[in-house]
Chains A and B, each alone.
Chain A
């Protein structure tokens, strides 16, 4: 395997995996949020909810 092919595979796999995971997490959040009837008021104010971790 050439070094360029290896780098391309590594970066490609990483991007696909992280993106898939991110989409899954967001999608699941949206689905459950919709079930609970929330998530539409999301633009309200900055994140000051003490029970979620700091949005660093």
Chain B
């Protein structure tokens, strides 16, 4: 009754070790490129170096929330047919959301520092900052909902629905806030448009984005495994409890 399935890939695997090493090396190079090699911006000065964290962070935050939403939808439509009851998707949603919140927080902090230098104020009621802060709080709420003690399936359904609504809400929030105020520098990295940040700065930004993506993937994979281990531990305890309950009355029956 009590066995640990495929236990060997629970903590570190060769794959994630390589990923982790790559991430560390990439971060070192990114620091070098971002803080030393790349030039100052003519207008922004050193403050442009903040964008090498700010822009990749918001990209990761959005990507993580997309992952959360996609996993949640899969959880809702597939949980009945999957052998694990959709727990895989639930874990993925949970770990991605946590990493997303982390990077949304980093986006806010770096953005505010950047704003202090460039705009002269920590906070502007600018569309993207406002959207980001709402997003940040929304997903903090999502994590709070996940932390509630509940049956795993109940919690999974509840948080999946919340992730779905939160995600559907992102464009609504963005549109309405954007419409309300627009003051932000236009998107720094966008496909099909001439980037406003050019040359070495552009490549540094691109490279940082890649690096942060690697770091975030590593974090998500490990967070996933921790959730899995926690579930496994609970499951173990429960199975042991069931086994002992099934045994205890055998003589009397």
The reply to whether A and B meet directly (CB within 8 Å) is yes
Residues on A facing B (Cβ under 8 Å): 1-4, 6-7, 9-11, 13-14, 17-18, 21-22, 25-26, 28-30, 32-33, 35-39, 41-49, 51-53, 55-56
Which chain B residues border A39 with CB–CB below 8 Å?
Answer: 10-12
Q: Is the CB of B10 within 8 A of A29?
A: yes
17 new A-B contacts, CB < 8 A, other than A9-B113, A10-B114, A29-B225, are A3-B44, A3-B47, A3-B117, A6-B116, A7-B47, A7-B50, A18-B215, A29-B222, A32-B226, A36-B4, A36-B229, A39-B12, A46-B14, A47-B9, A47-B16, A51-B228, A52-B221
Which chain B residues border A45 with CB–CB below 8 Å?
Answer: 8, 14
**Does chain A have a CB within 8 A of B242?**
no
Q: Which of B10, B47, B102, B105 contacts A6 (CB 8 A)?
A: B47
Question: Nearest residue in A to B31 (C-beta to C-beta)?
Answer: A11
Known: A3-B45, A7-B46. A14 touches B110 (CB 8 A): yes
Which among B7, B9, B228 has the highest number of chain A CB atoms within 10 Å? B9
Q: Is the CB of B53 within 8 A of A51?
A: no
Q: Is the CB of B220 within 8 A of A6?
A: no
Size of B's binding interface in residues, CB under 8 A? 56
For the A-B complex, the count of residue pairs with Cβ-Cβ distances under 8 Å equals 140
Q: Is the CB of B11 within 8 A of A33?
A: yes
Q: Is the CB of A6 within 8 A of B117?
A: yes
A11 to B227, CA, bound (A): 29
Q: Is the CB of A41 within 8 A of B110?
A: no
A19 to B109, CA, bound (A): 16
Which chain A residues border B88 with CB–CB below 8 Å?
Answer: 51
Q: Which of A4, A6, A29 contacts B229 (CB 8 A)?
A: A29
- Measured CB to CB, the closest approach of chain A to B1, in angstroms, equals 15
**Does chain A have a CB within 8 A of B13?**
yes
Q: Which of A1, A10, A11, A25 contacts B223 (CB 8 A)?
A: A25
